[in-house]
Amino acid sequence: MLEIFRCPIDKRALIQKEDTLICSCCHLRFSQVDVEGKRNVYDFRCFNQVNKVQIEFNVPQSLLDLDSETIKRFGFATKVDFKCLSREEIRKKFGTKLQKEILYYIEKTYFKVSSDARILDLGCGTGGNKNYLNSIGFKNVISVDYWSVGADYLVDVHRLPFDNSSFDLILTTATLEHFYNPFIAFAEMSRVLKSGGVLVASGSFWESWHGQSCFHFTPNGLFVLCQSANLILEDLWSGWGFIPSISSHAFGLERWKFVTYKFQDVFDFLLKLLKGNDAVLRHRLRTSGSFGIYCIKP
């Protein structure tokens, strides 16, 4: 897949000389590093390298109207009748956390572009997402991370080492809050997506600070990011409700998450009885612990 790789700084082609990749323009060298005992991983993070990025956006930004028809179409994959493995089954079998909504849009993409689609597994962790993607037939999956044993390559999402229009699908789960400049990150993900390509992503909203998390996103924040990167936000859903989120991160009850999910279901059911489906959706959009998004590049 060397033909799609580019220098992260100036986006020029790379030349391979033995075990090193060299930029054909600026002559930066990219060597293989040892990641916790896993060898032969090229490092494209470009430490101590500075490059300028220009971002254009309009003021004021258009925002979501909670009573609009646009909002009412959100949560589509949550409501659709789609048989799939449960979250716990996915975790046990593949070592990753993939919700029903993510599984739905992965399968939809599979039928759209076939098994030959090129996929970027961004923020891959230990490699569970790739294991799942391979299991359903995707053959061309590139796993990248800032630092992880599951990575095929080490990268920084803010300057991806790939050519324009390289991927049919970018899958990045539980990562958005770790982007230190989300506008640049979304612009880069959009740049490397093909026209008609898909971004399936998720990130925190009402969740405690963890690891190297920088930004936690509201639906409006995600909407603005997609607009800025020329991505159409087709669907947005609640990753987990406020009850399991607060219970886990404020009261340390993470081991009881399966119980707090049930409490969330009861709360949503009662709210539905009292005020209807739209009230449940609006409450979820205001209070969920995390959100997932499905976007298409025009």
Record the pTM: 0.95
Place of tokens 């409490």: 263
Q: What does the pLDDT read at residue 263?
A: 96
Helix or strand run (H / E) with residue 69: helix 69-72
CATH topology assigned to domain 58-296:
Rossmann fold (3.40.50)
d(CA 56, CA 184): 11
For residue 41, give Cα distances in angstroms to 27, 53, 147, 153: 19, 27, 10, 5
d(CA 177, CA 185): 11
| Torsion angle defined by CA atoms of residues 277, 283, 286 and 287, in that order, rounded to the nearest 10 degrees | -130
Sign, CA torsion 117/118/123/129: positive
Interhelix angle 87-94/128-135, rounded to 10 degrees, is 100
- pLDDT tens-place string over residues 79-101: 999 999 988 899 999 999 899 99
Q: What does the pLDDT read at residue 103?
A: 97
- pLDDT tens-place string over residues 119-149: 999 999 999 999 999 999 999 999 999 999 9
* Spatial strand order in the sheet of 193-204: 32-35, 38-43, 153-154, 140-145, 118-122, 167-172, 193-204, 290-296, 232-240
Instruction: Give yes or no for residue 258 having a pLDDT over 90.
Output: no
Q: What does the pLDDT read at residue 41?
A: 93
Interhelix angle 257-275/242-249, rounded to 10 degrees, is 150
Instruction: Give yes or no for residue 38 having a pLDDT over 90.
Output: no
Please state the domain extents for the chain.
Answer: 58-296
Banded pLDDT at 230 (limits 50, 70, 90): very high
